[in-house]
Structure 1
Amino acid sequence: MPKGVVLVVDDEAPIRDILSFYLKRAGYTVLLAENGRAAMEEMGKLQPDLILSDLRMPEMAGDELCQKVKGDPRTRDIYFMLVSAIDGTASKIGGLNLGADDMISKPFHAQEVMAKVESAFRIIGMQKEIKRQNLELTRFQERMTAELALAARLQVGLLPPIPGRAGDLRYTHRYLPAEGIGGDIYAILALPDDSVALMIADVSGHGVTAALISAMVKTCFENQVRFGHRPLAWAQAMNRDLARSTLSEQFATAFLARLDPAADTLQYVAAGHVAPMIIPQGASGGPKQPTILGERGFMLGIEEDLPFQERSVPFRRGDRLIVYTDGLVEVEREDRTFLGDEGLQQICGDLPADEEAAADHIVHRAIAFNQSTPFSDDVTLVVLDRA
């Protein structure tokens, strides 16, 4: 099997013959041309791996041929050796500046030429291998990009459709993953007794692993809601499942709640999650002051048995609940100041009545605080109004 294709370009037939003899004996396929123009014609028939060209020739000299070869995207990767009778450092530098990969001085020894050719083909082989690997990496990256885009669409499909309604609650959300796919998830379910179950969770990390665990958390929540109507029981069961099913460094924060319309209350468990806000209906149309539900509790998945606490707060008709993940309040300016709970509380103190407009208002104000730089963490915001 030929070791490669070499195009010898020289206006002197004896030199072409000598080089052809040694190259063929070494196992190379040899093409011959008497000048640059003829070389271009030969390249149109079979593209060589290496061109060995004299510098001074009639009808397109070697320097012009080199410039044409290196200036064409289709041929610029061909290894080009210039052979020159003009000795000296300046001549060699001039040839290399034209784009030549190597220079050979005349008169030359055939053994020297063959040694340089062998060295050149080792470089050519490495370049081909690098190109092959780069092509494989590009194809792999394209597949991964397509798969991640599909995963991102599937993850969005796990979220409740918006705007939505469950029992007495109207709701909407804004979902802004930091990497296209993330670890935030939420679910809202109307229960047979007219109450409504709510869960928002934030899995540690980003990317595919966090997304897979977030889907598991959502499934676990939906399964537990079928067996009982108490957030404490949901938290205990979800914590056990997560601790048994994931690595020790994987955990999740969550806010689990049940709206009881008969009692006008919101029962909830905070499992290490950022504190939601309730905005009560202002008396006689007065201002609505957001109230932060400040307890955080233990995160899910640290260990199997954790002492979660269930609490209850009033939640009447006209009240609004704002739940979110920590990416929203951890928005950071260049001066390293954070939006924080108090900053979000100020934003939520003057929201539009419509939940869609309210969600947009919060996100836009957070981005303005962040000076329009991208969020560094996943951000999920849910606005729920009790009708």
Structure 2
Amino acid sequence: MRVLVVDDDPISLRLIQANLEKWGGYEVTTARDGREAWELLQGEAFPLLITDWLMPELNGVDLVRRVRAADRAEYTYIILQTAKSEMTDLVEGMEAGADDFLSKPIDLNELRVRVRAGERIVRLERELSNKNARLNAANQRMRADLEAASRLQQSLLPPPVLHYGNVRFEWAYRPCEELAGDTLNVFPIDDERVVLYALDVCGHGIPAALLSVTLSRILAPGADTGLAARGSFEAVTHLARPEAVAADLNRQFSIHSAQRQFFTLWYAVLHLPTLELTMTGAGHPGPFLLRSGDEVETVAPLDPPVGIHREYEFTPQTIRLRPGDRMFIYSDGLPDAFNADHEQFGVARVLETLQKSRGRSLSECLQTTIDRVTDWCRPGIPQDDISCLALDVGQ
């Protein structure tokens, strides 16, 4: 270990140097005053510094202060030699940044004990620094992996704006972490019917995100595996029945399985010529239907989340949309958001925000809702993923 010894007394300087070299394991460099020591410290690293207090040019306490003020990659353990014994002097030395003291005249046994103690501290600090470096590298790799996974997850979402027939679809998506348990999609299954769904996996983080991605792949149109992995006619027929899709997923995923996860699902099929919407709500918040007038309808979910009961017959519901109608399907991250006073944003505020934005475009309406919930949570952030899928029927 490299040691810098500083003392304007050549006898003391030689005594410390000779004994450190005799004990072995120390590479000793000497300086005759604080200024010379400071110049050496500019170009070299010394894990252990033993310095006298009273010296010309730059005294030991001022040298300690300079060392502590410098931005050094490695910690320097400092032993301050002093003949001072007043408590105020010792306090001054400690406040300057000294780690330990060595009384003058030098006692070789005391010198050896204090140097060995300093050496142990330096080695522990190095081990901690190395562990922190490895941890930071691992965190950086993990962060890069999460960012890549987040990009992959968001690539599975639909285009931001879709038109089918006279119906416009838009969505908003705000994960509370890098990865989300929410997902949604809109896609046609034939020339007359469009599937739209939103789901929310219970929990947060990687497990919820993995299931969310798995479900989005299972439900994807034209997937080689999953619900659409069958003949074209059979696949379309199956995907067009919301209750059958929910039942199929319920058989594949269960809270009683090893994953112990379940999810809410709102799945619907829109028949474009008639604007008839057939849907199944499995534990997902009931969507708001804002009619072309001031009328508001809430489609309450009739069924429990997918995965709760092993065998369950899900219930289809049917409504007919009209020109000028808007529908908003949202996850519970909107109403369940808490402010600093632990008050929920609530369903009523969600509806109020949507109604006040009725005259704006769909994208403005969705952004206003997200912004209001985000502001509600300040100085924190929304505690859950937020997703909202909206449709607007043209006049």
**TM-score, normalised on structure 2?**
0.88
Per the alignment, residue 329 of structure 1 pairs with 335
Contact 2:243 2:280 (C-alpha < 8 Å) held by counterparts: yes
**Partner Cα separation in structure 1 for residue 257 and residue 156 of structure 2:** 21
After superposition, give the CA deviation of every residue in 1:333-384 in whole Å (9 maximum; x if it has no partner).
4555434333333333341253223223333444465577532211111111
CA gap 1:345/1:91 in 2 versus in 1, 3 angstroms: closer
**AA at the equivalent of 1:141:** N
The verdict on how the C-alpha distance between 1:296 and 1:371 changes in structure 2, with shifts beyond 3 A counting, is: farther
What does the per-residue CA deviation read over 1:245-268, in whole Å, with 9 as the maximum and x for residues that have no partner? 964531110101001234431111
Structure 2 match to 1:198:
196
Q: Distance in 1 between matches of 2:70 and 2:174?
A: 45
Inter-partner Cα distance in structure 1 for 2:315 and 2:341: 37
Distance 1:11 1:302 in 2: 80
Gaps of 5+ in 1: 282-286
Q: Is the 8 A contact 1:275 1:296 kept in 2?
A: no
Q: Aligned-pair distance for 1:313?
A: 1.3
Counterpart of 2:68, as a letter, is K
Q: Would you say 1:119 and 2:133 are equivalent positions?
A: no
Task: Identify which of 339, 352, 371 aligns with 1:346.
Answer: 352
Instruction: Extract unaligned runs of 5+ from structure 2.
Output: 221-225
Whole-angstrom distance in 2 between the partners of 1:209 and 1:174: 22
| Equivalent of residue 242 in structure 1, options 253, 275, 281 | 253
Deviation for aligned residue 1:7: 1.1
**Range with bigger deviation, 36-45 or 172-181:** 36-45
CA distance in 2, matches of 1:338, 1:100: 52
Within a 5 Å distance, the mapping from 1:244-263 to structure 2 comes to 247-263=258-274
The residue type equivalent to 1:327 in the other structure is G
Is 2:317 the partner of 1:306?
no
Contact 1:167 1:195 in 2 (8 A): no
Contact 1:36 1:59 in 2 (8 A): yes
Letter in 2 for 1:224: L
Contact 1:172/1:355 (<8 A) preserved: yes
CA deviation after TM superposition for structure 1 residue 303, in Å: 4.2
Q: CA deviation at 1:184?
A: 0.7
State the alpha-carbon separation in 1 of the partners of residues 377 and 36 from structure 2: 64
| Aligned residue number for residue 284 of structure 1 | none
Query: Helix, strand or coil: the match of 2:333?
Result: helix
For the Cα contact (< 8 Å) 2:254–2:260, is it kept in 1?
A: no
Check whether the contact 2:33–2:58 (CA below 8 A) recurs between aligned residues: yes
Q: Which residue number in structure 2 is paired with residue 320 of structure 1?
A: 326
Pair 1:386-2:393 in alignment: yes
Q: Is the 8 A contact 1:96 1:103 kept in 2?
A: no
**Whole-angstrom CA distance in 2 between matches of 1:62 and 1:353:** 72
Assess, with a 3 A threshold, how the Cα gap between structure 1 residues 339 and 56 changes in structure 2: closer, same or farther: closer
1:80 paired residue number: 78
**Partner Cα distance (1:10, 1:26) in 2:** 20
Indicate whether 1:15 and 2:12 are aligned: yes
Distance of aligned partners of 1:333 and 1:57 in 2 relative to their CA distance in 1, 3 Å threshold: closer
* 2:94 is the counterpart of 1:96: yes
Deviation at 1:173, TM superposition (A): 0.9
- Between Structure 1 and Structure 2, how many residues are aligned? 379
Instruction: Kindly provide the CA deviation profile for residues 166-199 of structure 1, in whole angstroms up to 9, marking residues without a partner as x.
Output: 3443111111111232111001111114100111
Deviates more, 1:46-55 or 1:165-174: 165-174
- Does 1:171 find its partner at 2:143? no
1:328 match: secondary structure: coil
Q: Distance in 1 between matches of 2:368 and 2:255?
A: 40
- Secondary structure in 2 matching 1:236: helix
Q: Cα gap change, 1:288/1:100 in structure 2, threshold over 3 Å: closer, same or farther?
A: same
CA shift for structure 1 position 78: 1.0
Question: Whole-Å Cα distance in 2 between the matches of residues 372 and 15 of structure 1?
Answer: 60
**Residues 40 and 188 of structure 1, relative CA distance in 2, 3 Å threshold:** same
Secondary structure, counterpart of 2:246 in structure 1 = helix
The correspondence for 1:213, drawn from 202, 211, 223, is 211
1:268 matched to 2:279? The reply is yes
Matched-pair contact (CA < 8 Å) for 2:47–2:74: no
Contact 2:373–2:382, Cα closer than 8 Å, also in 1 = no
Which runs of structure 1 show a deviation greater than 6 angstroms over 4 or more consecutive aligned residues? none
For 2:16 and 2:378, locate their aligned partners in 1 and report how far apart those are by CA, in whole Å.
67
Q: Secondary structure at the match of 2:179?
A: coil
Deviation at 1:319, TM superposition (A): 2.5
Please say if residues 186 and 196 of structure 2, whose CA atoms lie closer than 8 Å, have aligned partners that are also in contact: yes
Instruction: Assess if the C-alpha contact under 8 Å between 1:298 and 1:306 holds in 2.
Output: no
Check 1:118–1:174 CA distance in 2 against 1; reply closer, same or farther (3 A cut).
same
User: After the TM superposition, which residues 138-157 of structure 1 pair with which residues of structure 2 at under 5 Å, given as runs?
Assistant: 138-157=136-155
What TM-score do the two structures reach when normalised by structure 1? 0.90
| Residue type of the alignment partner of 1:151 | A
Offset at residue 25 of structure 1 (A)? 1.7
- Conserved 8 A contact 1:273-1:296: no
Aligned partner of residue 243 in structure 1, secondary structure: coil
Distance 1:242 1:122, change over 3 A: same
Q: Tell me the equivalent position of 1:224.
A: 227
Name the residue aligned to 1:185: 183
Task: Please name the residue that 1:66 is paired with.
Answer: 64
Amino acid of the residue matched to residue 380 of structure 1? S
Q: 1:6 maps to what in 2?
A: 3
